[in-house]
């Protein structure tokens, strides 16, 4: 759910400790931000993860210790090989910060790295373009499927159809995104979960349709989740039913995070679906999840951080606003993190919607998947699914997996999303088994 607030400059956050007001310098910086950024990159490439030449703000230094920087850089190298060159550089100013974008050329990949400097010439944040160094997961065999471009629905959302090779009509799945203006691969940091799912499932004989979310491709006119999520999912299902290689009696719907929240409502008017898959499907209103996440940040990830504490108080006020009986459809509601604004209609549309209760009324098979290192959608949500669905659904929980269903260790937090990774192989196997039984 937090991805709704996590996008900056069209990229994905690696680590950011930017306050709303940059610190004023005690002395004027003597080197340009571009020079500082190039030196910092050279330090990482040389294994100097304590970056002796490049000062960090105190907040970023706490969030990005040397071992974390080492994991991030080694992740780049694991996917792309050694750094060959630092190419083009561009500097821009945004909200009082200077942002240097460097084009990094590795042996097998290119990465755009964004280094954010405050007014004291200290690094306050790091970003890279989502999924720039993605490589195929080991369980995917590109020789066993074909991909082709398609468009989905009235807004011509760009999509990709991944179809197994061979004769016959195949079972198929539509993928429904988590929150935020996602691309077709649901790219986040060093991962592309939807591309992993598509390639892994197609390798196992299941066709997959994924597409760019409307809030990214055609955001004008998006007011409620019907506009944002549901309409496109219905249109994607209709497209699969018209696809020659697809068995129309074996079409499934898979939702991740916000997608998992909305899939029961979509499925309620799609009774011919063969089944639904809920991956980290949220069951509670966004205002409650937001307070829970910020409380986790304030107590575990960034204890004592005044900015996080302020965001938590803003989230509590946000909850009062969106749950007020006086909320009107045209009211402008500011999100407590970031600069997003939504209309009151968005929250009124979801008021009273209980995903597990709706799912319990469905006649189709249901698969529920949950990572136990997920701090965004947690065991509280899994328990609500279990209480509502009981034995009529299949449940799998994965102790090592985070919200993206990527394996990790230690205290979970947003910084690990920067590390290259893939949806874990057992997740692909469990979805495959669920589909192939139908």
Taking 90 as the threshold, does the pLDDT of residue 54 lie above it?
yes
Residue 213 · residue 102 · CB < 8 Å: no
With residue 97 as reference, give the H or E element that holds it.
strand 97-106
The pLDDT value given to residue 71: 78
List, in sequence order, every beta strand (DSSP E) within 330-416.
332-334, 341-343, 366-371, 393-398
What does the buried/exposed string (b/e) look like for 40-69 if buried means 16 or more CB atoms within 10 Å of the residue's CB? bbebbbeeebebeebbbbebbbebbeeebb
**pLDDT exceeds 70 at position 18:** no
Q: What's the rounded Cα separation, in Å, for the pair 296 and 375?
A: 8
Q: What is the pLDDT of residue 133?
A: 60
Q: CA dist 141 to 80, 203, 426, Å?
A: 19, 6, 16
The pTM of this model reads 0.80
Residue 116's closest CA among 128, 106, 131? 128
Q: What is the mean pLDDT of residues 190-204?
A: 95
In the structure, what pLDDT confidence band is assigned to residue 374 with cuts at 50, 70 and 90? Answer: very high
Q: Residue 127: its pLDDT value, please?
A: 79
Q: What is the pLDDT confidence band of residue 337, given thresholds at 50, 70 and 90?
A: confident
Average pLDDT over every residue of 225-233: 97
pLDDT at 85: 92
Measured between alpha carbons, how far is 11 from 127 in angstroms, rounded to an integer? Answer: 7
Average pLDDT over residues 333-361: 92
Does residue 426 surpass a pLDDT of 60? yes
Given a cut of 60, whether residue 22 has pLDDT beyond it is: no
| Distances 424 to 152, 224, 249 between C-alpha atoms, Å | 28, 32, 28
Asked if residue 272 has pLDDT above 90, the reply is yes
pLDDT at 270 over 80: yes
Q: How confident is the model at residue 341 (pLDDT cuts 50, 70, 90)?
A: confident
Out of 42-46, 52-56, 199-203, 302-306, the most confident range is 199-203
pLDDT in the model for residue 125: 86
At 290 the pLDDT is 94
CA dist., res. 336 & res. 352, Å (int): 22
- Predicted pLDDT at 33: 92
When pLDDT is averaged across residues 44-69 and rounded to a whole number, the result is: 88
Are 209 and 154 in contact by the 8 Å Cβ rule? The answer is no
Of the listed ranges 117-131, 250-264, 319-333, the one predicted with least confidence? 117-131
pLDDT given for residue 30 in this prediction: 60
What is the chain's mean pLDDT, rounded?
89
So what's the pLDDT on residue 292? 96
pLDDT at 49 over 60: yes
Candidate from 137-151, 181-195, 261-275, 386-400 with smallest mean pLDDT: 181-195
CA–CA distance, 321 with 323 (Å, rounded to integer):
6
Where in 134-245 does DSSP place strands (E)? 145-152, 157-164, 170-176, 207-211
Has residue 396 got a pLDDT over 90? yes
Q: Which residues belong to the active site?
A: 257, 374, 403
Query: What angle, rounded to 10 degrees, do the helices at 193-203 and 425-436 form?
Result: 50
Kindly tell me if the per-residue pLDDT of 420 is higher than 80.
no
Q: Which helix (H) or strand (E) holds 41?
A: helix 33-45
Give the best-scoring range by mean pLDDT among 23-27, 97-101, 314-318.
314-318
β-sheet bridge partners, residue 396? 369
Cα dihedral 277→361→285→394 (10° resolution): -30
Cβ–Cβ under 8 Å, residues 315 and 1: no
Separation between Cα atoms, residue 169 and residue 174, nearest integer Å: 16
pLDDT digits (tens, 9 = 90+) for 116-172: 998 889 998 887 764 556 789 999 999 999 999 999 999 999 999 999 999 889 999
Tell which residue, 66, 60, 79, 81, has the closest CA to residue 14: 60
Judge whether residue 23 has pLDDT over 50: no
Is 80 exceeded by the pLDDT of residue 297? yes
């Amino acid at each position: 759910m937090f991805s709704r607030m996590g996008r900056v400059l069209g990229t994905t956050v690696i680590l950011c400790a930017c306050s709303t007001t940059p610190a004023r310098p005690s002395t004027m910086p003597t080197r340009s931000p571009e020079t500082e950024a190039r030196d910092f990159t050279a330090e990482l490439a040389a294994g100097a993860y304590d970056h002796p030449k490049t000062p960090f703000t105190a907040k970023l230094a706490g969030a990005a210790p040397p071992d974390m920087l080492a994991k991030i850089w080694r992740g780049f190298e694991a996917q792309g090989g050694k750094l060959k060159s630092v190419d083009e550089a561009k500097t821009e100013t945004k909200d009082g910060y200077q942002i240097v974008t460097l084009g990094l050329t590795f042996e097998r990949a290119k990465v755009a790295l964004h280094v954010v400097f405050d007014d004291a010439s200290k690094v306050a944040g790091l970003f890279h373009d989502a999924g720039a160094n993605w490589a195929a997961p080991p369980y995917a065999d590109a020789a066993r499927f074909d991909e082709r471009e398609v468009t989905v629905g009235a807004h011509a959302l760009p999509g990709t159809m991944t179809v197994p090779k061979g004769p016959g009509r195949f079972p198929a799945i539509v993928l429904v995104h988590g929150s935020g203006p996602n691309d077709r691969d649901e790219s986040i940091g060093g991962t592309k979960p939807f591309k992993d799912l598509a390639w892994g499932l197609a390798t196992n004989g299941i066709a997959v349709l994924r597409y760019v979310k409307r809030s990214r491709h055609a955001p004008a006119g998006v007011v409620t989740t019907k506009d944002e999520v549901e309409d496109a999912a219905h249109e994607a299902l209709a497209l699969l039913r018209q696809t020659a290689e697809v068995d129309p009696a074996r079409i499934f719907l898979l939702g991740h995070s916000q997608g998992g929240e909305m899939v029961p409502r979509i499925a309620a008017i799609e009774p011919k679906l063969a089944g639904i898959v809920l991956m980290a499907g949220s069951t509670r209103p966004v205002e409650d999840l937001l307070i829970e996440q910020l409380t986790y940040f304030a107590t575990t990830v960034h204890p004592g951080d005044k900015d996080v504490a302020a965001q938590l108080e803003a989230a509590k006020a946000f909850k009062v606003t969106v749950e007020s009986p006086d909320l009107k459809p045209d009211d402008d509601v500011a999100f407590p993190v970031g600069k997003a604004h939504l209309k009151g209609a968005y929250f009124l549309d979801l008021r009273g919607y209980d995903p597990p209760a709706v799912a319990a009324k469905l006649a189709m098979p249901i698969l529920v998947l949950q990572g136990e290192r997920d701090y965004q959608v947690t065991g509280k949500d899994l328990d609500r699914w279990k209480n509502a669905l009981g034995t009529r659904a299949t449940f799998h929980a994965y102790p090592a997996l985070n919200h993206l269903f990527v394996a990790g260790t230690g205290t979970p937090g947003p910084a690990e999303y920067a590390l290259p990774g893939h949806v874990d192989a057992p997740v692909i196997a469990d979805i495959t088994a669920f589909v192939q039984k139908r």
